[in-house]
Amino acid sequence: MKTIVENRDLNEQCAVYTHKSGLKVYVQEKPLYSSAYAIFGTRYGSIDTTFKTDKDADFITVPAGIAHYLEHKLFESEDGDAFTRYAKTGAMANAFTSFDRTCYLFSCSSHFEESFRILLDFVQHPFFTEETVQKEQGIIGQEINMYDDSAPWRVLFNLLGALYHKHPVKIDIAGTVESIAKINAPLLYDCYNTFYNLNNMFICVAGNVQAERVFALTDELLKDCEPVEIIRADVNEPYEIVKNRVEISLPVAVPLFAIGYKEACERPQKTVLQRVCTELVMKMLLGNDTPLYKDLFGSGLINENFGAEYFIGHGYASIIIEGESNQPERVYEAINREIERQRSQGLDKTAFERAKKSMYGGYVSNYNNVEDTVMSMVNAAFLQEGVFDQYNCIKQVTYEQVCARFDEIFDVNNSALSVVWGKQEAR
Per-position pLDDT tens, the chain of length 427: 899 999 998 899 999 999 999 999 999 999 999 999 999 999 999 999 999 999 899 999 999 999 999 999 999 888 778 999 999 999 999 999 999 999 999 999 999 999 999 999 999 999 998 888 888 888 898 889 888 889 999 999 999 999 999 999 999 999 999 999 999 999 999 999 999 999 999 999 999 999 999 999 999 999 988 888 999 998 889 999 999 999 999 999 999 999 999 999 876 678 999 999 999 999 999 999 999 999 999 999 999 999 999 999 999 999 999 999 999 999 999 999 999 999 999 999 999 999 999 999 999 998 999 999 999 999 999 999 999 999 999 999 999 999 999 999 999 999 999 999 997 655 5
First to last CA, the chain: 61
User: Does residue 270 share a domain with residue 214?
Assistant: no
Residue 93: helix, strand or coil by DSSP? strand
Residue pair 128/71 in contact (Cβ under 8 Å)? The answer is no
pLDDT of residue 138: 86
pLDDT of residue 4: 95
Question: 147: which residues sit within 8 A by CB, 6+ positions away?
Answer: 153, 154, 172, 174
The residue count for the chain: 427
pLDDT of residue 139: 87
Distance CA 18, CA 85 (A): 28
Which residues are marked as active site?
Answer: 71
Question: 368: which residues sit within 8 A by CB, 6+ positions away?
Answer: none
Is residue 204 in some structural domain? yes
- DSSP summary character for residue 206: E
- Domain residues for the domain of 382 are 245-425
User: Does residue 182 share a domain with residue 323?
Assistant: no
pLDDT of residue 227: 87
Domain end point (choices 232, 255, 275): 232
Residue pair 406/343 in contact (Cβ under 8 Å)? The answer is yes
DSSP H or E run through 245:
strand 245-249
Please return the burial class of 361, using the count of CB atoms within 10 Å of its CB with bins 0-12, 13-18 and 19+.
exposed
User: Does residue 204 share a domain with residue 264?
Assistant: no
pLDDT of residue 424: 65
Distance CA 182, CA 178 (A): 7
Phi, psi angles (nearest 5°) of residue 169: -65, -20
Residue pair 105/74 in contact (Cβ under 8 Å)? The answer is no
User: Does residue 361 share a domain with residue 260?
Assistant: yes
Query: Among 118, 68, 110, which Cα is nearest to 93's?
Result: 118
Is residue 281 in some structural domain? yes
Pairing of strands 245-249, 415-421: parallel
Q: How many CB atoms lie within 10 A of CB 233?
A: 15
Distance CA 38, CA 42 (A): 14
User: Does residue 197 share a domain with residue 328?
Assistant: no
User: Does residue 250 share a domain with residue 132?
Assistant: no
Instruction: Return the beta strands (E) in 267-414 as ranges.
Output: 307-313, 316-324
User: Does residue 348 share a domain with residue 304?
Assistant: yes
Is residue 194 in some structural domain? yes
What b-and-e string marks burial along 387-397, b requiring 16 or more CB atoms within 10 Å of the CB? bbbbbebbeeb
Largest pairwise CA distance in the chain: 66
User: Does residue 167 share a domain with residue 103?
Assistant: yes
Is residue 288 in some structural domain? yes
Residue pair 225/196 in contact (Cβ under 8 Å)? The answer is no
Q: How many CB atoms lie within 10 A of CB 405?
A: 21
Domain end point (choices 208, 232, 256): 232
- DSSP summary character for residue 7: E
Domain end point (choices 198, 232, 266): 232
Q: How many CB atoms lie within 10 A of CB 243?
A: 10
pLDDT of residue 425: 59
User: Does residue 182 share a domain with residue 87?
Assistant: yes
Is residue 240 in some structural domain? no
User: Does residue 262 share a domain with residue 216?
Assistant: no
User: Does residue 97 share a domain with residue 6?
Assistant: yes
Total structural domains in the chain? 2
Is residue 237 in some structural domain? no
DSSP H or E run through 193:
helix 185-195
User: Does residue 338 share a domain with residue 302?
Assistant: yes
| Residue 366 belongs to domain with CATH number | 3.30.830.10
Is residue 238 in some structural domain? no
Please return the burial class of 131, using the count of CB atoms within 10 Å of its CB with bins 0-12, 13-18 and 19+.
exposed
Distance CA 256, CA 422 (A): 9
pLDDT of residue 60: 95
The amino acid that residue 118 corresponds to is I
Residue 224: helix, strand or coil by DSSP? coil
Is residue 58 in some structural domain? yes
Q: Between the CA of residue 44 and those of 48, 57, 114, 129, 384, what are the distances in Å?
A: 6, 21, 26, 22, 14
Residue pair 321/371 in contact (Cβ under 8 Å)? The answer is no
Distance CA 37, CA 378 (A): 12
For residue 2, the cross-strand partners are 17
Residue pair 16/387 in contact (Cβ under 8 Å)? The answer is yes
